[in-house]
Structure 1
Amino acid sequence: MVAGVEYFFVASMGVGLIVLIRWMAMDSTYRSTKRRLRLAREHANQYILPEDLDYPCQQLLRRAQNAVEAIMASAVHKAGLIDSIENQVSLPEEVWQIATRLRKLSSMHAEQGKIIPRELPKGMEDAFKPYTSALDAAWTSLSQRVRHLEKYAKQVLKADKVYHAHTRLEKLAAKTPEYQQLIAETVRDELAHERIRELSDQAAHVRKLFEESILQARQAAGELLRSPLT
């Protein structure tokens, strides 16, 4: 009988221990979730969620992010042929500044939609117009900012294409003497000189295109960064 009691006591202790462990695990999860929520509230001004933006603002921000991602992933950026350090510092900040303004614009647009009646009394349209015009002006300004980013990205991608062609041509250029010798040995003198000159001219042309494309990318960056959003 005593053995049975001891068994029951041990079994009860085992069940109690399991319940205690499960409670501790649940409590730990609860405390961890609570801590994360507290941190999220404390740092709410340091991140932006998709639901913070209305659909047009989400799309505009995505365009800005795509442009910056294209620039940062480019070969000319990685090779340091454009101002890579400035890009790494300024472009993420530019996207963040655009995002914060889009968040504010979304909030004010939603607020305005609740305040301004759908059907205004006759003669009242002009009274509300300055407020709607202010939001329109902000949208236009931010859209222009994103277009500047996209213009920069376009120039960088153009430079990338020329850069890839340039690197391939450089490999061939190293073998120019072999090609010149081949032409000299197999083609009539007058025609040989013309072909050799074409080789040199083509290499110079591609190099010029490459230098021009890099310059255009830098100019586009200059236009963007001369008036940063702060």
Structure 2
Amino acid sequence: MIDPTLHPEISVELRSSPHLLRMARSGARVDTTKNPAALFILPALTVVLSIATGMQILLIPGIGLLVIVLFRWMAADSTYRSTKRKLRLARENADRFILPEDLDHPCQMLLRRAQNAVQAIMASRVHKDGLIDSVDNQVSLPEEVWQIAQRLRRLSSMHAEHGRLVPRELPPGMEDAFKPYTEALDTAWTSLSYRVRRLEKYAKQVLKADKAYHAHRRLEALAAKTPEYQQLIADTVRDELARERIRELADQAAHVRKVFEESILQARQAAGELLRAPLTSE
């Protein structure tokens, strides 16, 4: 995951080379042991030999090989320079991205849940049509997930450290001395889990609104044909029963509109509860 506030051009560069992000995190360097000059040895010897011996038949193939090797060297050099530049960029922004291996398995799963919730919200029709504060969602939700990811990375690191420092079997009477540290980790995990559940609650309300919106749009299409349905009933059903059926059409339309409006309101309320107390930046 990459910091959503990072410049778009830098973000695209980092996303395009995940293996370089891992190299930057591990401190690895680009391999420079291969000498490109070695590529020229064989074609150069061929050209020299053809000139020295007067064997013109070797001259043209030798020059052809030199040209081919030259183009290969240029392509390899360009790739090397690009890789070196991207690796330097990754090192300069090492605190602006989080790799899967930066998190332990429980934290990976919790982050995935948060990402799935946000993806569901962003993919919804009510979001795309601007019915649930789309502009705010596009900024606040990615930032919310990034803040969660940062804290999960820190929690994973501290949990691993805790596992190394705390003995598996504590001497009698020492349990209470280690307990506050364990409880601190548990409290952080509980807080982040709660935050993710709020995101999932918001996503659930949005999906509910999406279904109501879909029904509402279908109803709008039918509403244009309401006079035709009313006339059909009036022409084929007794007067008293016709009035009842026509009233049912109007009542059903009003009910669907009410369900849609309520679902949108609930989604907005869920968003308000989530974003009212955002995680602060570190």
TM-score (norm 1): 0.91
Percent of aligned pairs with the same residue? Answer: 79
Mapping of residues 59-74 of structure 1, within 5 Å? 59-74=109-124
Amino acid aligned to 2:145? V
Mapping of residues 4-83 of structure 1, within 5 Å? 4=54, 25-83=75-133
| Counterpart check, 1:135 vs 2:199 | no
Which residue does 1:205 correspond to in 2? 255
CA distance in 1, matches of 2:83, 2:73: 15
CA shift, 1:36, in A, is: 2.2
Unpaired segments of 5 or more residues in structure 1? none
| Counterpart check, 1:195 vs 2:195 | no
Which residue does 2:225 correspond to in 1? 175
Mapping of residues 108-187 of structure 1, within 5 Å? 108-187=158-237
Which residue does 2:21 correspond to in 1? none
Cα 1:18–1:190 change in 2 (3 A) is closer
CA distance in 1, matches of 2:65, 2:236: 95
1:159-183: CA deviation from partner (whole Å, max 9, x where unpaired): 0001000110111111111111111
CA shift, 1:32, in A, is: 3.2
CA distance in 2, matches of 1:75, 1:47: 30
Mapping of residues 96-111 of structure 1, within 5 Å? 96-111=146-161
Which residue does 1:90 correspond to in 2? 140
CA distance in 2, matches of 1:129, 1:115: 13
Determine helix, strand or coil for the equivalent of 2:265.
helix
CA shift, 1:18, in A, is: 6.4
Amino acid aligned to 1:84? S
Which of structure 1's runs of 4+ aligned residues deviate more than 3 A?
5-32
CA distance in 1, matches of 2:270, 2:109: 23
CA distance in 1, matches of 2:58, 2:235: 104
Amino acid aligned to 1:211? E
Determine helix, strand or coil for the equivalent of 2:172.
coil
CA distance in 2, matches of 1:198, 1:133: 59
Q: Indicate the structure with greater helix content.
A: 1
CA shift, 1:7, in A, is: 7.9
Determine helix, strand or coil for the equivalent of 1:126.
helix
Unpaired segments of 5 or more residues in structure 2? 1-50
Cα 1:18–1:169 change in 2 (3 A) is closer
CA shift, 1:6, in A, is: 8.0
Aligned length: 230
CA distance in 2, matches of 1:14, 1:190: 96
1:108-153: CA deviation from partner (whole Å, max 9, x where unpaired): 1111111111111111111111111111111000000000000000
| Counterpart check, 1:226 vs 2:281 | no
